[in-house]
Structure 1
Amino acid sequence: MNKPIQVTPASLRRLALPSLDDEADKDARGRVLLVGGCAENPGGLLLAAEAAMRAGAGKLQLATTHAVSVAVAIAVPEARVFGHPGKPDSISPRAAQEIAERANRVNALLVGPGLVDEDAAARLARGILRELEHPAVVLDAGGLAALREDADAARHLDGRVVLTPHAGEMAQLLDMERDDVEADPEAAARTAVARFGTVVALKGPRTIIVGPEGTAYQYEGGGVGLATSGSGDVLGGIVAGLLARGAEPVTAAVWGVYLHGEAGNALARRTGAVGFLARELPAEVPAILHRMSEDDGEG
């Protein structure tokens, strides 16, 4: 088995993002739907929403609970916001079919940020996945729970699903100890790929990305500052935004991890290794993308 490919600017040139013509309109840049947030945690959805737009998605839709939908719409004026029944900690699983119908009309879907009740989130995500046909999907946070009781829930999407767990979430998905995941993250990621038929980006000090074809990538940058509340929501949003633009799932996962990490590095250089906030990460992404595109032009 080959060693994981280090994620660097050089390796990213072999995983180029879809180019955007200067005359491309917002439809050409893709539509993304984010499902999450609740009265107890609307912030996770807001972080992912800005990240998706900063990564280049053209149109943004958000599905959340009625309780916070107006506040979310005011906080994210770029988005079309849909309110659904729910409790203070969840969107009702009864909303799954309606959300899935909307999801089948977009390019990318993210399920999970800000869904506190894992049981309700699992039933909601499974209900959505059952009805999906077209979009690429990111499952993060509460959305990952969909696969615990049904390992095949995403298999019909033929590898167009990206999982973004941290070590604790991966341990729950694979029914193993967290220490064992952290001891060999590549093995854990490969086990998850085989079990669920998805792309896996296992977050940590050494983030491992593996796709169904078996090639592994690793990124070791970003620093301890990324270990902060809301950071994972930002990563999920970045990956979803790249998928909306037309990136293949492995490409979106690898680039998403790199952009997330380099955003952390940029903030660390300016403010210190720790103490910057997850809400500050998305604004760093466009400049990193621009710098990468300029470097490609020179090469």
Structure 2
Amino acid sequence: MSPPITIDAAWARDHPLPHPGEGGKEARGRVLVVGGGVALLGAGRLAGEAALRAGAGKLQLTAPAEAVAMMSLIVPEARVLGLPRDEEADDALFQALGQADAVLIGPGMEADLGRLAKALCLHVRSPLVLDAGGLAAAACPGPDVRILTPHAGEMATLLETEKAEVEADPASAAKEAARRFSAVVVMKGARTVIATPQARLAYYAGGGAGLGISGSGDVLAGVIAGVLARGVDPFEAAAWGVYLHGEAGRRLAERVGALGFLAREIAAEIPRLLHV
């Protein structure tokens, strides 16, 4: 087993992101973000904007039928598709699931949509990120490439154990989840752990306490999806996502203050961090 990797600026310099050249938006990939009830539309917006800030070229979002027009105005860069309330998605959403270069399921997805998340996973052909409510589909058949982004409470649910046990040894929890679900796992916390099914481990300890705020996880998931859509290996996409999210938090802490910045401010810091 190789020794754990430290994710920092030196690692980022040694693992540069692909340059799109003259290819335009199609060359940088299409991200589809599935999630969000009417009361949680902001989560989809945070994730989608973060994917674009991470360099993805095209964005599609979902929203409940009664909020599609609203979401289109909130995120004018995105095409917005209707989110069904059950497993019966329409043709447009099924087509989007098959055509995206990366799919993120879960931001703002209410608990009662867990069955929908499981059904939609069956139609995904591209790399898949499962976050928040989408983690209900962690064990479902779907694409070979998947990334899970749980916090300690969600990890405890995934592993059917106690939150205290996860917090006592997050690396072991991440490795077990990666093995059990055949996924790259991003175990979120003050010291984020990234694990692969092959027991590869990486750590990121930066970012600061200010990132522990509502919506921050949606931004992280969106950044990972954006990097994935650009064709990056899933482990490196997860590592880059964690690094960009954390360093954006560090910069905000220096400029705004250690606490009190907003999740909506994180993504705007990312373009300046893409090339270290």
Q: Indicate whether the TM-score tops 0.5.
A: yes
User: 2:109 matched to 1:115?
Assistant: yes
Give percent identity, aligned residues only.
51
Mind listing any 5+ residue stretches in structure 1 that lack a counterpart? 87-91, 293-299
Mind listing any 5+ residue stretches in structure 2 that lack a counterpart? none
Distance 2:64 2:273 in 1: 34
Q: Which amino acid aligns with 1:212?
A: P
Matched with 1:43 is: 42
| Residue-by-residue CA offset, 1:148-199 (whole Å, 9 max, x unaligned) | xxx2x14x522x1000111110001101111111111110000001110011
Matched with 2:223 is: 238
SS of the aligned residue for 1:157 comes to coil
Q: CA RMSD in A?
A: 1.5
| Residue-by-residue CA offset, 1:9-45 (whole Å, 9 max, x unaligned) | 2222343322221x12110011111101111111100
Match of 1:132 among 124, 132, 136: 124
CA contact (8 A) 2:31 2:100 kept: yes
User: 2:186 matched to 1:162?
Assistant: no
Q: Which amino acid aligns with 2:17?
A: L
Matched with 1:214 is: 199
Matched with 1:195 is: 180
TM-score (norm 2): 0.96
Shift of 1:100: 3.6
Match of 1:282 among 264, 267, 275: 267
The runs of at least 4 consecutive aligned structure 1 residues that moved more than 4 Å come to none
Shift of 1:3: 4.2
SS of the aligned residue for 1:247 comes to coil
CA contact (8 A) 1:99 1:128 kept: no
Match of 2:98 among 104, 109, 112: 104
Distance 1:206 1:191 in 2: 17
Q: Which amino acid aligns with 1:104?
A: G
SS of the aligned residue for 2:260 comes to coil
SS of the aligned residue for 2:261 comes to coil
CA contact (8 A) 1:60 1:80 kept: yes
Matched with 1:59 is: 58
Distance 2:12 2:253 in 1: 22
Matched with 2:28 is: 29
Distance 1:96 1:195 in 2: 32
Matched with 1:89 is: none
| Residue-by-residue CA offset, 1:106-154 (whole Å, 9 max, x unaligned) | 10000000112x232x211111112223x1110001000123xxx2x14
Aligned length: 276
CA contact (8 A) 1:221 1:261 kept: yes
CA contact (8 A) 1:48 1:235 kept: yes
Distance 2:2 2:127 in 1: 27
Matched with 1:296 is: none
CA contact (8 A) 1:235 1:260 kept: yes
Q: Which amino acid aligns with 1:36?
A: G
CA contact (8 A) 1:97 1:128 kept: no
- What are the equivalent positions in structure 2 for 1:168-179 lying under 5 Å apart? 168-179=153-164
| Residue-by-residue CA offset, 1:72-111 (whole Å, 9 max, x unaligned) | 100111101112343xxxxx33228753432111100000
